Structure 1
Amino acid sequence: MLVVDQAGWHISKNLKVPEGLHLMFLPSHSPELQPAERLWPLVDEPIANRSFENLEQLEELLCASCRSLWEQRELIRGLMSFHWWPQIETSL
C-alpha cells in the first residue's frame, strides 16, 4: 500500500500502478495527515518565479534556505505540531 494525496498525477487515468501495489488516497484538503505539506511554501518561496543558470545555483539557494529554516525551529514546530502528533523533546 502507498498512501498518496489526490494530486492530478496520482489520480490520472494514465497512471500505471505496478501489480501488487495498492494506492490509498488521503482525503482532499487534509494537510494534517501529511504534515510536511505545510513546509512546502517555505521551501518554494525562495525559488518561485526565478530562473537559474545551472543546477548548482539552484542547489546553493536551496541549501541556504534549508540552513535558514534549521535556525527557525519554533516556526517549524508551529507548522508541524498537531494536537494528535506525539510531542517529543529533542536537543536539536
Structure 2
Amino acid sequence: MRRQRRNSRETLTEQLRRAELLHKKVSLWALDEHRIGLHPTLRPLWAPIGEPLLAFIDTTYKWSYLHAFVCPETGESHYWLIPEVTLPTYGKVLDEFARNVNAGAEHHVLLVEDNARFHGGAPPEGIEIVRLPPYSPELQPVERLWQLADETIVNKCFKSLEELLQVISK
C-alpha cells in the first residue's frame, strides 16, 4: 500500500513535463510569506573595545507580512505588503499575481508553496499549486530572500509600523 502512494504522487519534474505538453508556456514560481514588525531584527556589529553597544527595542507587537513570488529560472520577483495572512487576503494576492504574470489558458504557472493553514481555496485559472512537504524550508527558494529584505531594517528601531513599511517598500 505504501508503494502505491509513492507511485501515485507526481514529482515536480513530472508535473512540469505534463504541463509543458498541455500548454504553450509554462513557468515555475515559488511563494512564501515573511513577517516584518516593530520588534527589531538584530545582527552583530563591530564596536570599539570597552564601549558597550545599546539596542533600543520596542516590544510592541505590530507587524505586516511580505509576500514574495519568485521565478527561480529567471530571477523575476513580485512582492506584496499585506497587513494580515488570512484565506481571503491570500486569495486576493494570488489573483493579483495571476494577473501580473498573465496566467491563464496560454500561460500555465506551477506555484510551489508551503503548507501554511491559510493557503487554500481554489487557485485562479492558469495556476497549479505544488505543496512542499511539512517542515522543509530548505526546499523553498524564497527563504533565501528574507535576509535581503531584512537588510534595510536590521539593527534599527522604528517609531511606527508605517515608518517601517515605508523603508521596506523601497
More helix by share: 1
Verify same fold: TM over 0.5: no
| Higher RCO by CA contacts (8 Å cutoff, separation 6 or greater) | 2
TM-score (ref. length: structure 2)? 0.24
TM-score (ref. length: structure 1)? 0.40
More strand by share: 2
The structure number with the bigger radius of gyration is 2
